[in-house]
Amino acid sequence: MCGPAWCQSPPSCAKLRGAAGLECTQNGEEASQGGVAPHLRSSAPKIPPPPELLSLSRTSTVSPGAPTMTYSSDSKEEAIGSIDAAVPADFAGDNGDYRFTPEQVAAYEIDPDVHKRVVRAYDKRILPTILLMYLFSALDRGNVSNAKSDHMDLDLGFKGNEWNTMLTVFYVPFCVMAYPGTFMSKKFGAHRTMPIYMAGWGVMALVTAAVKNYHQTLVVRLILGMFEGCFGASLNMYLACFYKRDELGKRMATWYSTVAISGAFSGLLSYGLFQVKSRLHGWQLLFLVEGSLTVLFAVVAWFALPPLPTKSTFLTPHERTVAVMRLLKDATTEVDAEFNLKAYFEPAKEWQTWAWAFYCLIYGVANQTASVFLTQIIGRFGFSKVKTNLYTVPPYACAVVVLWCVVISSDYHRERTCHTMFANLLVVIGTITLACVPVNHIAPGYFCTFLITSGSFIPSVLFLSFVQNNTTKENSRAFRAAVMNFGANAGGIVSSNIFLQQFAPKYVTPLIVSAAIAALGICVLICLRTYMVLDNRRRNREQGVTWTSKDVPTAALSNGPSDPQYRWFY
C-alpha cells in the first residue's frame, strides 16, 4: 500500500524512505511517481502536492543490501522488473528467517492466486479444528445450566445461593488464567498449549460426574475454570497470527458461533440423556458424554493444529512468503516474533487497553447471561425440564444466523463499533421487554429470548477482532487478548450474582440490571468511536491526506498509535 500518497506527507517519507525501491527528497515527494506497481499504490484519494514539492529527484535506490538502480520516470516497466527481481516470489528474508524490512514489504508483489491458496489452506486446516475445540469449551463451561434443570443442585444438597457461588468460583480463575495462558502460549506455541488446556478441562468435566457434594463441585469447577481461562485468550491471539484485519471477523465468528451452537447441541443432548433410564442421574450422563468427547478431541487437536505461518509445513516456500507478507501489509508489524516480556506488558501503559477491557466487562454480562441462565429464564414459562431444554435450541440457532449476518457486514464495510452497538441495542430491547411482559404471555416473552441471545454473542466476535485489528505487535496482542478475556469473563461474575434464586422465576430485577449495563456499553462505544474518528481526522489534517486504516501498511507501524502514520480501525 505504499504509493504516491505515502510520500505526500513528510513524516511518512522520513520513516519509509526507500519504500518499494524509491528514494524521497527532503520535501517529502516520491522520487518517481511511476516506479511502484499499481497494486502497491495507496487507495486513498490522491491529493495534489503543494508547489514546493514539485521539484523531484529522479534517482531511486532499493533498501540496503539489495541492488541499486537508477532510472527515469519514463522507465516504469524496467523499474518494476528490478523491484520484483530484488524481492523474489519465494524470498524468505536476508537470513531465511522471514524477517523483512518495510521496503521489502512495500516492493513485494503478492500473487492473487497464491494468496487465495494460502487463505483456503488456513480455512481447511485451522478453522474446523478451532471450531470443534471451542464447541467443547462452551459445552463444558455452560452445561451446568442444563444440569440444574435436571436438579443437580438438589441431588448434591446445595442450599440458598450456593449454586451462584459455585458459578462465581468458576469465573475467578477463568478470568485470571488468561494472563499465564497467553504467556505460555506465546512462549511455547499455542498449537501445543491449547490441546493441553483442552485435555485438562475435559478431565475436569468427567470428574464432575463423580462429585458428591457442594464442596467437591466447587473444587472441580475451580480447576475447570483454570484450564478454560488459559484457552480462550490464547485462541484469540492464535487466529490473529494467520488472518488479516478484514478476514479476522468472519473467522472469529466461525469459532465463536459454536457458543450458540453448543447451547442448541447441549439442549438437544440433555433432552435425550435426561430421558435415559439408568442408575446415574441424567446430569451425570451429560458430564460423562461431553467430557469424554472433549478429551478425545484434544488428542486430535495436538496433531491437527499448525504452528505459525513461517513454520507451516503444509505451505510451499512461495506460499509461506505470501503468508507473511500479507500480514505485514495489513495485520501486524512482525510475524512469529520472539517472546519478549517487556514487549508483552507494554500495552499496560496505554489507556486504550483498559478502556477496551471495561467494555469487555460490560458485554460479558449479557454474554454469560445468555450462556448460563437462558435455561432458567425460559423456565419462567412453566415448561417441564425436558421441554425447557428443548426450547433453548431455537434462540441459539437464531443467534448463529444473526451473528453471521452482522459479522459479514462488519468485515465488508471494515467497521466494528456501530455493528457492536446494534448488538447491545438488541440486548437492551430484549431484556427490558422480557422484564415487563407478564409470565403468562409466553409468545412475546419467548421472542425476547431470541433478541437477548442474538445480541449477546456478537460483541465477543466484533470487539475482540476490533482489539486485534488495532494492535500491530504480536507480543502486545498476547497481553491484550488476556486483558480482554479477563474483562469479558469477569462479566460472568457479575451475571452470576445478579440472577439469584431469590428473583426466580420472573428475574425482573436481574433483567433490568442487565439492560442498564448493555445501555452503558452503547455509551462507551460511542465515546471510543468519537475519539478514534476525531484522532484520525487530526492526523489527516496535520499530514494533508485523507487516509483510513487500509491505506497504511502495518509493517511500517512499529510504534503503534504514537506513529504519525497510524490510523484507528473502528
Write down the pLDDT at residue 227: 95
pLDDT at residue 24 is higher than 50: no
Work out the pLDDT band at 23, boundaries 50, 70, 90. Answer: very low
Q: Which CATH number fits domain 115-562: 1.20.1250.20, 1.10.10.10, 3.20.20.140, 3.30.70.3150?
A: 1.20.1250.20
Q: pLDDT value at position 59?
A: 32
Weakest-pLDDT range from 69-83, 138-152, 173-187, 284-298: 69-83
Q: What is the DSSP string of 33-95?
A: TTSS-GGGS--SPP-PPPGGG-----EE--STTSPPEE--TT-HHHHHHHHHHHS-TT---TT
| % of the chain surpassing 70 pLDDT | 79
Average pLDDT over residues 505-509: 85
pLDDT of residue 555: 60
Q: What is the mean pLDDT of residues 55-60?
A: 32
Whole-number pLDDT of residue 314: 87
pLDDT-derived band of residue 425, with 50, 70 and 90 as boundaries? very high
Least confident of 195-209, 461-475, 550-564: 550-564
Cell numbers found for residue 348:
499496560
Q: How far apart are CA 212 and CA 296, in angstroms?
A: 25
454 close to 327: Cβ distance less than 8 angstroms: no
How many helices and strands in the chain, by DSSP H and E? 21, 2
The more confident residue out of 83 and 366 is: 366
Q: How far apart are CA 556 and CA 551, in angstroms?
A: 11
Q: Which of 408, 417, 406, 402 lies closest to 370 in space, CA to CA?
A: 402
Rounded mean pLDDT, 319-341: 74
- pLDDT for the residue 205: 94
Q: d(Cα 124, Cα 132) in Å, to the nearest integer?
A: 13
pLDDT at residue number 384: 79
For position 288, what pLDDT does the model report? 94
- Residue 79, pLDDT > 50, answer no
Q: Give the domain ranges of the chain.
A: 4-109, 115-562
Buried b (16+ CB within 10 A) or exposed e, 478-494: bbbbbbbbbbbbbbbbb
Q: Which residues pair with 216 in a beta bridge?
A: none
331/110: higher pLDDT: 110
Evaluate whether 395 touches 401 at the Cβ level (below 8 Å).
no
- Indicate the pLDDT class of residue 557, thresholds 50, 70 and 90: low
Higher pLDDT: 500 or 242? It is 242
Q: Is the pLDDT of residue 141 over 50?
A: yes
Task: State the average pLDDT over residues 318-327.
Answer: 86
> Taking 70 as the threshold, does the pLDDT of residue 535 lie above it?
yes
pLDDT at 243 over 50: yes
Q: For residue 345, what pLDDT is reported?
A: 87
The overall pTM is greater than 0.75 = no
Residue 302: the pLDDT is 95
| Residue 500 CB-density burial (10 A; 0-12 exposed, 13-18 middle, 19+ buried) | middle
335-388 pLDDT per residue, tens: 556 677 788 888 899 999 999 999 999 998 888 777 667 878 888 888 877 788
pLDDT value at residue 121: 92
pLDDT at 1 over 50: no
More confident residue, 312 or 421: 421
Confidence of residue 197 (pLDDT cuts 50, 70, 90): very high
**Dihedral pair phi/psi, residue 396, rounded to 5°:** -65, -40
User: Which candidate, 208, 238, 219, 209, places its Cα nearest to that of 134?
Assistant: 238
Predicted local confidence at residue 501, as pLDDT: 77
Where are the alpha helices (H) located in 437-507, listed in sequence order? 442-469, 474-496
Q: How far apart are CA 416 and CA 270, in angstroms?
A: 36
**pLDDT given for residue 387 in this prediction:** 82
Q: What is the mean pLDDT of the chain?
A: 78
CA distance 9 to 4: 10
pLDDT tops 90 at residue 146: no
Top-ranked range on mean pLDDT: pick from 37-46, 397-406, 517-526, 560-569: 517-526
Give the pLDDT confidence score for residue 11 in this predicted structure. 39
Distance CA 570, CA 567 (A): 9
**pLDDT category of residue 247 using cuts at 50, 70 and 90:** confident
Which pLDDT value is given to residue 488? Answer: 86
CA 347 vs CA 231, 342, 350, 464: distances in Å = 21, 10, 5, 15
Judge contact between 482 and 490, C-beta under 8 A.
no
The per-residue DSSP string of 247-305 comes to: HHHHHHHHHHHHHHHHHHHHHHHHHHHTT---SS-HHHHHHHHHHHHHHHHHHHHHHH-
- How far is it, in rounded angstroms, from Cα 499 to Cα 98? 51
Other CB atoms within 10 A of residue 70 CB = 10
User: For residue 401, is pLDDT > 60?
Assistant: yes
Mean pLDDT throughout 441-467? 90
Predicted local confidence at residue 199, as pLDDT: 97
What is the mean predicted confidence (pLDDT) over 82-108? 64
Euclidean distance between the first and the last CA atom of the chain, given in angstroms as a whole number: 19
pLDDT for 556 beyond 70: no
DSSP 17: T
* Contact between residue 494 and residue 481 where contact means Cβ atoms under 8 Å apart: no
Instruction: Provide the pLDDT for residue 334.
Output: 60
Looking at per-residue pLDDT, the higher value among 332 and 509 belongs to: 509
The confidence score (pLDDT) of residue 17 equals: 38
Query: Rounded to an integer, what distance in angstroms lies between the CA atom of residue 326 and that of residue 116?
Result: 11
Q: Are 372 and 495 in contact (CB under 8 A)?
A: yes
Nearest C-alpha neighbor of 408 from the set 257, 253, 255: 253
The helix/strand/coil state of 30 is: strand
